[in-house]
Amino acid sequence: MRLVILDDADQVADWSARYVISQINKLNPGPEKFFVLGLPTGGTPLGMYKKLIEYHRQGKVSFQYVKTFNMDEYVGIPRDHPESYHSYMFHNFFKHIDIDPKNIHILDGNAADLEQECNEYEKKIKEAGGVELFVGGIGPDGHIAFNEPGSSLVSRTRVKTLARETILANARFFDNDLLKVPTQALTVGVGTVMDAREVMILITGAHKAHALHKAIEEGVNHMWTVSAFQQHPRTFFICDEDATLELKVKTVKYFKSICLLFLFEMDVPFVAGKLIGVFSACQDNTDSTRLTMTRHAKNATASQVYTYHEKKKDAQASGYGSQSMRFGKESIKDFDCCCLTLQPCRKPVVTPEGYLYDKESILEYILKKKREIARQLKEYEKQKANNEVDSRQKGMEVSQEVVREISTKEGIIAQKKGEPGMSQSVSNMAVGKSSQLPSFWIPQLTPSAKAGKMKKPDKTISCPMSGQPLKTKDFIDVVFTPVKDPDDKKSLIAKQNRYMCPVTHDILTNATPSAVLRPTGHVVTMECVEKLIKKDMLHPLTGQKLTENDIIPLQRGGTGFAGTNEKLEAKQARPVLQA
């Protein structure tokens, strides 16, 4: 048994069609040797049939020497009924290819003797030499053909009463009228399909994920008839990612890990296109293949079998942080980089809080914020004007209501007639005599969503890192002292050690605490500040008198992700367990 996991239903359709074609061409059928193909019906194989028709028109396959045996047919509906499987196969497949009608075999649900019809069908399969490849689909309850839960796993072609779940599922084909859905069908047995040399089962959609789980991860069970194919020597399930949602992580990893070996076992002469999930294969009629693996679905940790070693391995592969894994060196913002652009500053300036910006970038940021504030103010003034109009209108309505009540009490005015075409009750509602809306729709009484009340925007522009008010007059020009190395021909930006303390000549790095001296903007190490500058509070280069406010610690560290008010940290990745 093999499991082929593809990205979506379209890839399942394309892959399965190509495999059918490869097996037909590999046998090279002729007048004396026919290829016998078992075919399903339903929604899942429709995509495969469309692809087979497409490749047939391209001349990649001929069905002239192919015999087909369908899995099932309803009992009691005419062959030309739109939902009969005779009609389904003719319109969706047979009329588009070059197959000989005498080589088409579909069970007759209107036969006089249904048991005899089933026995003759088994006999025809044997006379044809057995089925080379049986293609099938499954239902959400794991049935294949019409072998419902509880069917014998060695059953042959027979009459079968349909389960209620199947009747409900098929009701969509009969105008959702359960009375129109047939309750019996003729179907090949599980044993009949097991006799085929190869079995290919198509499974797509999250609604069949539980059935796939039962089919390949649990034991053989007659309540899940598709599970019997675990014992077939050449069965493979073709599914999309959605159908794997209930599989264990180890199951998915195992089948994805053996995909290349499976490819060579299948010996497919051409598999064009990008089939993400198992492999990306070559162009038509070439032999080269390349592996393109994908991560499993979001439930990659949604199982108790997700071990510590798998978690550790996945964390390393995906780059997620944990308590023992931190962001790499490339994820740390350099000390001389702008907090907005994350690039080395050309004209560095620092805020009183110690955040470094490129002057051009921070000025552009301020201008953008001013434009945004101006836009919000305009919207606010517009809303304010509208509110004033609404208030005046509401005041007029209140005044009119007071006048109406007084006039009514005194009997001066007659009752107001309703609008043309409206009943008296509707008219009363329209003038506000009832607090309840009517049970039928009236345009003028339909509630409408109103825009939320907008608060007056704050004109203050905040620092994107500290959140403090930001003013251009508070910016301090920063002076970095380049490392003096005349023998080094590298540009300053390419050097690993670019700047140093102008007093101690210590190299400035991401790990070196440093500070900006406000009067001149020179960047010195905090060690220099503590040991030299704070003794007499004099500028070491100019001799100027300094205060505590003149020493601005330069903010360092953080992540290499630009953003506003964001301080990203590596946190432990905790798996989500599902019952």
Within a domain: residue 564?
no
72 is catalytic: yes
- φ and ψ of 221, to 5 deg: -145, 125
pLDDT higher than 80, residue 237: yes
Of 14, 56, 72, 539, the catalytic one is 72
265 is catalytic: no
- φ and ψ of 134, to 5 deg: -105, 120
Highest mean pLDDT among 161-170, 293-302, 360-369: 360-369
Within a domain: residue 294?
yes
Within a domain: residue 408?
no
User: Which whole number is the average pLDDT over 309-330?
Assistant: 53
Within a domain: residue 399?
no
How many domains would you assign to the chain? 2
Picking from 252, 267, 299, the residue at the C-terminal end of a domain is 299
The long-range contacts involving 51-58, CB below 8 angstroms and separated by at least 24 positions, are 51/13, 51/14, 51/16, 51/17, 51/18, 52/17, 52/20, 52/21, 52/93, 52/97, 53/93, 53/96, 53/97, 55/17, 55/18, 55/21, 56/96, 56/97, 56/98
pLDDT digits (tens, 9 = 90+) for 364-375: 888 888 889 989
Burial class (CB in 10 A: 0-12, 13-18, 19+), 523: buried
Of 148, 195, 241, 550, the catalytic one is 148
Of 143, 232, 296, 539, the catalytic one is 143
Q: What is the CATH number of the domain that holds 27?
A: 3.40.50.1360
pLDDT digits (tens, 9 = 90+) for 38-55: 999 988 999 999 999 999
pLDDT higher than 90, residue 20: yes
213 is catalytic: no
Q: How many residues does the chain have?
A: 579
81 is catalytic: no
Q: Rounded to an integer, what distance in angstroms lies between the CA atom of residue 331 and that of residue 334?
A: 9
Residue 375, amino acid = R
The long-range contacts involving 158-162, CB below 8 angstroms and separated by at least 24 positions, are 158/115, 158/118, 158/186, 158/187, 158/189, 159/75, 159/114, 159/115, 159/118, 159/184, 159/185, 159/186, 160/184, 160/185, 160/186, 160/187
Tokens for 114? 């249904």
Chain-centre distance for alpha carbon 487: 55
Within a domain: residue 448?
no
So what's the pLDDT on residue 164? 82
% of residues, the chain, pLDDT over 90: 38
pLDDT higher than 90, residue 204: yes
Q: Pick the residue with more confidence: 495 or 88?
A: 88
Domain range for residue 281?
A: 2-299
Nearest one of 202, 281, 239, 176 to 20, comparing CA atoms: 202
Of 141, 246, 336, 550, the catalytic one is 141
Q: What is the CATH number of the domain that holds 483?
A: 3.30.40
So what's the pLDDT on residue 553? 93
Within a domain: residue 92?
yes
Picking from 276, 299, 322, the residue at the C-terminal end of a domain is 299
Picking from 270, 299, 328, the residue at the C-terminal end of a domain is 299
Within a domain: residue 178?
yes
Strands 280-281 and 289-290: antiparallel
Within a domain: residue 282?
yes
